[in-house]
Chain A
Amino acid sequence: MAFTTTAGRATDTTSVARPGRAISPRRRRRFSATPYLFLLPGVVIFVVAIIWPAVSAFQMSLYHWNVFNAQLSQWIGFQNYITAFQDPHFWQSLANSGIYMAATVIPQMAIGLFIALLLKKKSPTQPLFRVLFYLPVVTSWVVVSLLFKFLFDDSGVINFTLHDFLHLMNSDVSWLANRWTALFVICLLGIWKGIGWSMLIYLAALQGVPESLEEAASMDGANRWQRFQAVTLPAIRPATVFISVMLVIGGLNVFTSVQLITDGGPVGQTDVVLTYMYIQAFNFTDFGYASTLAVILAVIVFVLALLQLRIMRTDDAEEPA
């Protein structure tokens, strides 16, 4: 609720502030039902199945919610929010989610784009490489999380390689026993698994870069790096905006890998917002507090997404409402 109204207000200002810069053919017409008809079926399903439940979740956050008998729930206003802001464990888990996001977004994008550039051109081996780089994306989180847990086990492959095989370390490292090394493992998994995802979107976006432009630039004597900066990068900007917004959202919502690799341990030190929320909801059945954590996270994520859209404004986004 809170965030939808904010969103609405922000929209109004943009639409008033910058009128009539669109090249849209529809602009000259008077009110038309056509765009609404295009939107209707999707929006109806979306509002019923996502927005309504989201509003219910927000409602829960204002109560000492009794999940088994909603009628017995006690209205406590913003008490859950006050509790959350005073809860050091919430701040630590928020910091962990933030660290994960900060550490994984850029590498996924950079490496994904780099591989997409390598695989853009048609060649006999190209489809094979595309599949290979995409494999981590299609493998379920459950399986890859466990795989990483085994790899970084005290007597796992990584310790075996670094200690017994390469002799780079004097003793085995307990990767998952320390907050920072454990977060490192979780971030590494996130990057590894996400590269194929950004690669795929960049591959699709690169198909839209007009070859004529690249050819023109190369005739002007631009080297590959200059052409990449001057032609390719601007042309795939909408995809970059999309990927970065999605990865920031996904980064702050990290859950499964943490739950399966450390389960927040040792003693909650690697808890992220969603693992902490899950414990509150299903182990302690405190749905009011769990919803509060979810709403706070959603507001943060939503504000960050809007900021990104604003900073990395594309031609499309500049089009006023």
Chain B
Amino acid sequence: MSASGLVTGRSRRGHSGRAFGTSVRYVLLIAGAFIMVAPFIYMISASFQSQAYVLTIPPQFIPNPATTSNYTDAVTSENFILYFVNSLIVAVISTACSVLLSSMMAYAFARFSFPFKETIFRLLLVGLTIPAVMLLIPQFILAKNLHLLDSLPGLIFFYIAGSLSLNTFLLRSFFATIPGELDNAMQVDGANAWTRYWRLAIPLAAPALSVATIFTFLNSWDEYPIALTLINSQQNSTLPLAIATFQGQHSTQWGLVFAASMIAVIPVIIVFIVFQRYFVQGLTTGAVKG
């Protein structure tokens, strides 16, 4: 479906052809972006409306009258800043540890042959297939025995564990595309495994590591069921727990939920913007050529 527009745009390589191709590209991008962003804009707009005007039909994309009261209510609600900081601590540490540990595992899978390699890999795959909800009760009992209940280290421990499978699987597919000759060349120069991992594989896999970072941060930041299960006290609460309490049994102030969600999405977008910059074509190709 996708290629037909591009083929016609490309068959003549003249100036006009290229300009046509570019404009088709932009039309597609803008149309696509609108579809992707429209519900989000609806949400932003709702977050600036007072309760009475939320979710009106026909939809109001421009809030009138606009109010920032949802934002002030959300931020000044009890301990919102504390929950935000807790979430940040948990997400940053979980992400850093998970990306480090899973890249090491992925490197072992992609670069070494050893007994039980596929068995261990498939064990990791099992971790992706078990519905997380079913693990909650055993994990709760485990956390109790490890004295990890109601603590941020407890959350970090389970968030790291929960993200290892996906990250290892992802990074393994990327490490595998790094040409083996580079590894061999470094080994001939006398570099040991750790050096080759740290100085060669890691820099070359920057795009993949960025993807892993973006995903892990998002997942740890948004995680709800484990946090609900383990955390009992306000001082250890995270943002998703706080936002969930904005939804009531009989009624929910959607403006407030949306405003809090907008604030919550900011760190995730910042992480995305920072790390997507490592998607630079030619990083790996350059290395191969050099």
Chain A interfacial positions (CB closer than 8 Å to B): 3-4, 7-8, 10-12, 14-15, 22-27, 31-32, 34-36, 38-39, 41-43, 45-54, 56-57, 67, 110-111, 113-115, 117-122, 127, 129-140, 142-144, 146-148, 150-151, 155-157, 160, 192, 195-196, 200-201, 203-212, 223-225, 228, 235, 238-239, 241-242, 245-246, 249, 253, 255, 274, 277-278, 281, 287, 290-291, 294, 297-299, 301-302, 305-306, 314-316, 319-321
Residue among B139, B284, B289 facing the most chain A CB atoms (10 A cut-off): B139
Chain B: which residue is nearest A189 at the CB level? B39
Is B112 a contact partner of A34 (Cβ separation < 8 A)? yes
Is B138 interfacial (CB 8 A cutoff)?
Answer: yes
Is B137 a contact partner of A46 (Cβ separation < 8 A)? no
- In the assembled complex, 30 residue pairs joining A and B whose CB atoms fall closer than 8 Å, in A order, are A3-B129, A38-B108, A38-B193, A45-B160, A45-B161, A47-B123, A48-B161, A53-B139, A118-B28, A127-B273, A127-B276, A138-B218, A140-B222, A200-B211, A204-B174, A209-B285, A225-B6, A239-B174, A274-B133, A277-B133, A281-B133, A294-B133, A298-B129, A301-B129, A305-B125, A305-B129, A306-B122, A316-B110, A321-B115, A321-B119
Is A238 a contact partner of B176 (Cβ separation < 8 A)? yes
Chain A: which residue is nearest B280 at the CB level? A207
Interface residues on B, range: 35 or more
**A157-B133 contact, Cβ under 8 Å, with A38-B104, A133-B33, A211-B282:** no
Is B176 a contact partner of A134 (Cβ separation < 8 A)? no
Is A207 a contact partner of B135 (Cβ separation < 8 A)? no
Is B133 a contact partner of A110 (Cβ separation < 8 A)? no
Is B48 interfacial (CB 8 A cutoff)?
Answer: no
Is B122 a contact partner of A7 (Cβ separation < 8 A)? yes
Task: Tell me the complex Cα distance, A128–B131, Å.
Answer: 35
Is A255 a contact partner of B261 (Cβ separation < 8 A)? no
Chain B interfacial positions (CB closer than 8 Å to A): 1-3, 6-7, 10-11, 25, 28-29, 32-33, 35-37, 39-40, 42-43, 55, 57-59, 101-102, 104-105, 107-108, 110-120, 122-131, 133-135, 137-139, 141-142, 157-158, 160-162, 164-166, 168-170, 172-174, 176-177, 180, 183-184, 187, 193, 197, 207-208, 210-211, 214, 218, 222, 240, 243-244, 254, 257-258, 261, 264-265, 268-269, 272-273, 276-277, 279-285, 288-289
Q: Which residues of A contact B279 (CB under 8 A)?
A: 203-204, 207
Is A208 a contact partner of B36 (Cβ separation < 8 A)? no
Is A35 a contact partner of B114 (Cβ separation < 8 A)? yes
Task: Tell me the complex Cα distance, A253–B128, Å.
Answer: 10
Is A211 a contact partner of B285 (Cβ separation < 8 A)? yes
Q: Which residues of B contact A294 (CB under 8 A)?
A: 130-131, 133-134
